[in-house]
Structure 1
Amino acid sequence: MEHNSALLYRYSLVILVVGFATPIAIRWITKLPCASFIVDKINPYLIWPSTIGTYHVRPLPWLLGNAPTLGQAWYIGGFLLLNIILSCLSYWPVYPLPHPWGYNKRGEILAYAGYRTGEFAFALLPLTILFAGRNNILLWLTNWSHSTYILLHRWIARLFAIHTILHSIFLWAARVQTGTYNKDVKLPYWQWGIVGTVFVCVMLVFSLLWMRRFSYEVFLIGHIIMAILVIVGSWYHLILRFGKTGTHEYWLYAAFAVWAFDRLLRILRMVKNGVRKATVTEIGSTHVRVEVPGVRFSGKPGFHGYVYFPTLNPLKPWENHPFSINSTALLRSYGIGPHSPGNSLRRSPKEDGKIETKVTESHAHHDPGTTAGITLYVRKSTGMTRLLQKHASLITLLDGPYPNNPPSAVLSCDRLLLIGGGIGITGLLGFFRAHVDVKLAWSVKQIHAAVVQDLESAVSSVSDREIRIGERLDIRALLQQEVQAGYKKVGVVVCGPGALCDDVRAVAASLGRHEKTVFELEVDTFGW
């Protein structure tokens, strides 16, 4: 019995350490001499492609979820295999000697498997919470994106749920074998275990993509409440059964510490940024430009922030959304801002006549002697964004800035190709002056043409550009042009709708397998 207990703790620690350390190990392995050559070769084959067709950012049919890329699947598959192996290895029953708890050989193995899967579930809990956090320490230690960790969070959470359910089933079967189930089920520790297991199962159902799409705010609040109930149920399940032994409950301490660390840093970031009053400018009927003064931001490419407008909907002041952010000073250097030229006429590629796009300006005072301030472009959609309209002093809180994918790899290439779709251009603006050889390709729906007008001076600073209004970009032709131009290594950054991001990923992987040009791919998306 002591041997089984020792293995239980040892294997649980192995699972936690492997889950946490693998991204770090992969990051540092890729920095070894000559590793970049190998990475460039395997990316198009084993890392970038999706596991199911070209689906990744786009959800699978019937909103079944998001398919991982092959690179993400290697982590998921390897971690799942590790859990299966360690769940099955090295059970040492005392049979044929009498067991002190009255188990026969089958019941004894079931009990050991139940305790092990329960301990594994606890070991996965801190990792599950860590991967979901905005202040995930692995974001600082690796070059993996927040979207990747969110996807891995879902898979590890499913594994946590499987261990929890198996723990309940195995111990139920073991108690049935000894004939003590009817007595045990009435005990408080057992009932709290039922509470935890039930809410784990409910979380599985309500975390499906269709629920997140139906109402993300309802999902998020429900998700947090149910997670608290799972942890509370787990705590009383442990304490009422074993007391504070200095072993099992440490997993719950670790889980709470990870959660508290993330929440504390969010609060500190917002306190540091302070309560700001933003200027909101309407850009046509579908978008707004939000300028938040006073926030110190370097203007480097590849950052996002979570923005709160607490007075927009007083009943839900906690509502926030992630947006790509850019330095206001950088945009002003292009002539973008409240005092830039107003209306202009642009020709639609599908129409012979001219159409007028209206930009309504809000003329607020801006200090010309500071470079502090950030600017967001927001498409009015659902939730709080639909309430945004012209405003000279909108109370704003900012949690951020947070980095997206590290841009160093794409910026070290011979050529930088920026591909944007719609409001995704905001994730690319910071790259315009970050490289000596930049090409911009941007497609916008006709109804959103006012955004093109507002950003015209910034876009015009890129001499090699292709702007399409009302038309789709030909992604294969774009990347094929870079190959035909003879570039040895091309950095590709894409930010926009899921279909565009998935197309760029698929074409870059395809050309990377068959052409001499090496591509470095960065897909900027927000995972939810």
Structure 2
Amino acid sequence: MQPLRWLGILPGAWGVRGETISKDELCVTAIFSAYNYISFKGDPEKGMWETRCRNPFKVASIYASSEIYCHDEERRTGLTQLAKLCQEVGHSELLSRAAVAEHLTEESIRNMRIVDYLELSRVNYQNTPVLLSASYFNRMFDTIDSWQFETWSHHAFRYFQISYVGYAYWAGILSLGVLYRLYGWMLLGRQQHIESGLESTIYRSIWRRLSFLECVVHWILTHLIILSPLAGQGRRLIGCTFPSRADALAVGGFWILSIILSVVGYRTFQGNIYWPDVTSQILRYSADRTGIMSFANFLLLIVFAGRNNILIWATGWSFATFNVFHRHVARIATFQAVAHSVLYFVIYIRVNKLWKEITKVYILWGVLTFILMILVLITSLDRMRAASYELFMVAHILLSVITLVGCFYHTIVFEGHEYWEYLWPSVIIWATDRCLRIVRLVYCNVHVRLSKGKFINVTESRMTYDEVADVIRLEVTPGMPGLQARPGDYYFLYQPFRFTGWENHPFTVGAWSYESDPRGAPLEIVGKPWDSIDNSQLPLLSETIFSHRSLGGRKMPFQQSLIPKLTFWIRPYNGWTQQLRKQCLRVSNQPVHTTMLLEGPYGHNVPLWRYESVLIIVGGTGIAAAVPYLHDHLQRSTNHWSDTSEEKLQTREIELVWTTRQPAFLRDLADRELKQMLDREDFRASFYATGSSDRFREDWNAVGYTVQMGRPNLQSIILSHSCDTSAAGMKLAILVCGPTGMADEARAAIHLARQQGYQNIEYVEESFTW
């Protein structure tokens, strides 16, 4: 324990490390703290710890008052602790009782002068020991006891905030996600046992006993997960955007919890020696607590912000959901920092010490940090991000780093640097995430081949822009030939050789194909030349040269590694995507070869193959989320996928509902990525164009495809599918990826269907915005 020497307005306060003294120590502590307001002659005459430990009149007074007001155990424990503090803090030995024994006889103590609080002036040095009055002792005891309680409560709330309340709160929320994911795996395992005829009587009995879980999960999905925050309000609630009602409830609960912890638990009383009036006590206690809790939230907001977040894998929730958590924890931390700063300004003004305190270096760092946190909050608002995402990213990272540095220097005055325990873990997690991102960048874009000479493969890319479709097609060949891809993957794309080459933006992998390595021998699979192999016969991506990959239980030898080519569809808006459009327009009718770097893959795969019926609803470039699942269905439906595979295809029918403004984009994908699916009997497609004309309608009819003008009636489509699949005893999965309005319309329809009793509906939403 260290003395609170850094605050002149708290003479005699005990420690700064949040360590509370025991009740047995409190009696002696109150006594030697009370003597700070009384001066004594003798050697030494000045210095808080020097006089406490070595001034014979003050030490004799401490011994004498301890005899009067403290029990034996309190006196023994308290004096032992005082002697320890004299050594560790005062760097001197406490005068022994024998050294001042002449002042401690019964007669001497009986004849000592009894003094009250502020009865003696600090400039009036006493040349004999004095006793504390009972009222003075009780007042100081209550003052120290109150401060100890507040210190305990601040740090208890601080530790609760991380380990018990704050962390426990989010641990509870995240545990629900983990349990739901485990529940899904259990359902899958049960389904596989039923299909294979291996479900035992005990297993069926267990599921019957747990049947109430299905009702609980159904209610949660229907009323919390699927619905938007408020009916009729879309995703906006109190000026904030939430993907679902569950997200709004989780964030709202943390707001309420943080407010409660900031305002409750203060112990105040009139006559406090440090702060005589109750208002001053509340100002000081709340200023300390809000500052501590703001620091406590740093770790949470850093964890939620990371791309390489293990919690995303554990819960199956999207990065967008954790981004919502990150934003609100950051806002709470900022408001707590604002409260901390404003309250201290008020305190300094009340004691006429504003200019004196604000000129101190650590206070200036605190003011800078306070301002920077407000700037981070302002630049993170939805409108600011939409207006200039690049400016937001640069400002967000730069200001956040300076803020963290400012926090270190603001708390550097604390002996032991106790509050750095929040900052260093935040720095480590942030740095680890950045390092992992660099590792992903190197892994995806650079590959050194040692066979047949030393070659270095790097990522290659080309892009074309279709003015009629208003879509950029970006094709990227990663430097890593064995890079795996799967539905649901997205990458952050960099264009490094620009002035702002650090900018990166997330895009979903819309499709992929395979090419043989031009520097090696022709690829053969199962004795067939490469040119005769259909993509649907291949696994998602190959592995290394001469490797074997199990495809549905069959070993397929690869005499050479396949090189993947990833396709991204980018709608040009403002900023970087608009610059890509301009680059393409500079070269008419020619692909633009440019350097792109990939960071990833991120995202998670939804096992749509488990559902007998699948309905996919997408808007615009949201088709990028659908095509990979359609290709996955193609691969699983080939005879190469063994019927004994654990991932046996269950899907009997798939319907795609795609709405876009430009019919040219529809045609482009229908003639390329969707062509194989359009020829299948188990697939139906409904295309809608919102910005078409009669000429486009005739063109579509001429090639055998139909496109409907306007927007689909999603409620009718979803209710119809729900009714048909329920009647057939099939499970239905609905995947939605599109603008917020489309997704909310689909949500409302699914909610209505579940209310009507169609429970076998799984709703999956891929984020259309970031």
Q: Give the TM-score of the pair, scaled to structure 2.
A: 0.59
Structure 2 equivalent of residue 400 of structure 1: 600
Counterpart mapping for 1:107-118 below 5 A? 107-118=280-291
Structure 1 equivalent of residue 471 of structure 2: 287
CA distance, structure 1, for counterparts of residue 157 and residue 731 of structure 2:
44
CA distance, structure 2, for counterparts of residue 69 and residue 269 of structure 1:
31
Instruction: Call closer, same or farther: CA 1:419–1:68 in 2, change over 3 Å.
Output: closer
Amino acid at match of 2:668: V
Structure 1 equivalent of residue 241 of structure 2: 66
Please report how far the alpha carbon of residue 169 of structure 1 lies from its aligned counterpart in structure 2 after TM superposition: 2.1
Please report how far the alpha carbon of residue 193 of structure 1 lies from its aligned counterpart in structure 2 after TM superposition: 1.3
CA distance, structure 2, for counterparts of residue 444 and residue 319 of structure 1:
28
Q: Given the alignment, which residue of 299, 303, 308 partners 2:489?
A: 303
Structure 1 equivalent of residue 199 of structure 2: none
Across the aligned residues of Structure 1 and Structure 2, the Cα RMSD in angstroms comes to 2.8
The residue matched to 2:290 in structure 1 has which SS?
A: helix
For residues 19-66 of structure 1, give each alpha carbon's deviation from its aligned partner in whole angstroms, at most 9, with x where no partner exists.
542343112343465534421222121222112445556x789xx542
Is the CA contact (8 Å cut-off) linking 2:511 and 2:673 kept in structure 1? no
Structure 1 equivalent of residue 155 of structure 2: 9
| Structure 2 gap segments, 5+ residues each | 1-146, 184-209, 446-457, 516-533, 538-558, 585-589, 634-648, 691-709
User: Kindly, what percent of the aligned residue pairs are identical?
Assistant: 26
Is the CA contact (8 Å cut-off) linking 2:722 and 2:761 kept in structure 1? no
The answer to whether 1:391 aligns with 2:630 is: no
Amino acid at match of 1:455: E
CA distance, structure 2, for counterparts of residue 89 and residue 65 of structure 1:
27
Please report how far the alpha carbon of residue 414 of structure 1 lies from its aligned counterpart in structure 2 after TM superposition: 3.4
Instruction: Call closer, same or farther: CA 1:272–1:66 in 2, change over 3 Å.
Output: same
Q: Highest relative contact order (Cα 8 Å, sep 6+), 1 or 2?
A: 1
CA distance, structure 2, for counterparts of residue 4 and residue 26 of structure 1:
34
Structure 2 equivalent of residue 278 of structure 1: 461
CA distance, structure 2, for counterparts of residue 141 and residue 270 of structure 1:
23
The answer to whether 1:333 aligns with 2:535 is: yes
Structure 1 equivalent of residue 71 of structure 2: none
The answer to whether 1:423 aligns with 2:621 is: yes
The answer to whether 1:500 aligns with 2:742 is: yes
Q: Given the alignment, which residue of 186, 205, 221 partners 1:43?
A: 221
Please report how far the alpha carbon of residue 330 of structure 1 lies from its aligned counterpart in structure 2 after TM superposition: 7.5
For residues 298-353 of structure 1, give each alpha carbon's deviation from its aligned partner in whole angstroms, at most 9, with x where no partner exists.
44221111111224xx2221222211115523797279xxxxxxxxxxxxxxxxxx
Is the CA contact (8 Å cut-off) linking 2:723 and 2:758 kept in structure 1? no
Amino acid at match of 2:414: F
CA distance, structure 1, for counterparts of residue 514 and residue 711 of structure 2:
28
CA distance, structure 2, for counterparts of residue 113 and residue 526 of structure 1:
42
Please report how far the alpha carbon of residue 96 of structure 1 lies from its aligned counterpart in structure 2 after TM superposition: 3.3
Amino acid at match of 2:722: V
CA distance, structure 2, for counterparts of residue 222 and residue 41 of structure 1:
42
Is the CA contact (8 Å cut-off) linking 2:737 and 2:768 kept in structure 1? no
Is the CA contact (8 Å cut-off) linking 2:389 and 2:575 kept in structure 1? no
The answer to whether 1:321 aligns with 2:532 is: no
Q: Given the alignment, which residue of 569, 572, 575 partners 1:377?
A: 569
Structure 2 equivalent of residue 21 of structure 1: 171
Amino acid at match of 1:494: V
Is the CA contact (8 Å cut-off) linking 2:477 and 2:563 kept in structure 1? no
Aligned length: 486
Q: Give the TM-score of the pair, scaled to structure 1.
A: 0.84
The answer to whether 1:467 aligns with 2:687 is: yes
Is the CA contact (8 Å cut-off) linking 1:420 and 1:443 kept in structure 2? yes
Is the CA contact (8 Å cut-off) linking 1:121 and 1:161 kept in structure 2? yes
Structure 1 equivalent of residue 751 of structure 2: 509
Instruction: Call closer, same or farther: CA 1:94–1:167 in 2, change over 3 Å.
Output: same
CA distance, structure 2, for counterparts of residue 171 and residue 103 of structure 1:
17
The residue matched to 1:242 in structure 2 has which SS?
A: coil
Please report how far the alpha carbon of residue 191 of structure 1 lies from its aligned counterpart in structure 2 after TM superposition: 1.8
The residue matched to 1:428 in structure 2 has which SS?
A: helix
Amino acid at match of 2:658: W
Is the CA contact (8 Å cut-off) linking 2:242 and 2:324 kept in structure 1? no
Which structure would you say has the larger Rg? 2
Q: Given the alignment, which residue of 707, 718, 722 partners 1:479?
A: 718
Is the CA contact (8 Å cut-off) linking 1:305 and 1:399 kept in structure 2? yes
CA distance, structure 2, for counterparts of residue 264 and residue 7 of structure 1:
38
CA distance, structure 2, for counterparts of residue 262 and residue 304 of structure 1:
17
Q: Given the alignment, which residue of 396, 419, 438 partners 1:248?
A: 419
Structure 2 equivalent of residue 520 of structure 1: 762
Structure 2 equivalent of residue 264 of structure 1: 435
CA distance, structure 1, for counterparts of residue 572 and residue 265 of structure 2:
57
The residue matched to 1:328 in structure 2 has which SS?
A: strand
| Structure 1 gap segments, 5+ residues each | 336-366
Please report how far the alpha carbon of residue 234 of structure 1 lies from its aligned counterpart in structure 2 after TM superposition: 1.8
Please report how far the alpha carbon of residue 380 of structure 1 lies from its aligned counterpart in structure 2 after TM superposition: 2.8
Amino acid at match of 1:328: W
Amino acid at match of 1:375: T
For residues 4-31 of structure 1, give each alpha carbon's deviation from its aligned partner in whole angstroms, at most 9, with x where no partner exists.
2233233223223135423431123434
Amino acid at match of 1:249: W
The answer to whether 1:457 aligns with 2:656 is: no
Please report how far the alpha carbon of residue 371 of structure 1 lies from its aligned counterpart in structure 2 after TM superposition: 5.2
Structure 2 equivalent of residue 356 of structure 1: none
Instruction: Call closer, same or farther: CA 1:379–1:322 in 2, change over 3 Å.
Output: same
The answer to whether 1:153 aligns with 2:326 is: yes
For residues 420-450 of structure 1, give each alpha carbon's deviation from its aligned partner in whole angstroms, at most 9, with x where no partner exists.
1111111111222345232211122235344
Deviates more, 1:28-37 or 1:475-484: 28-37
Counterpart mapping for 1:116-135 below 5 A? 116-135=289-308
Amino acid at match of 1:159: I
Instruction: Call closer, same or farther: CA 1:88–1:236 in 2, change over 3 Å.
Output: same
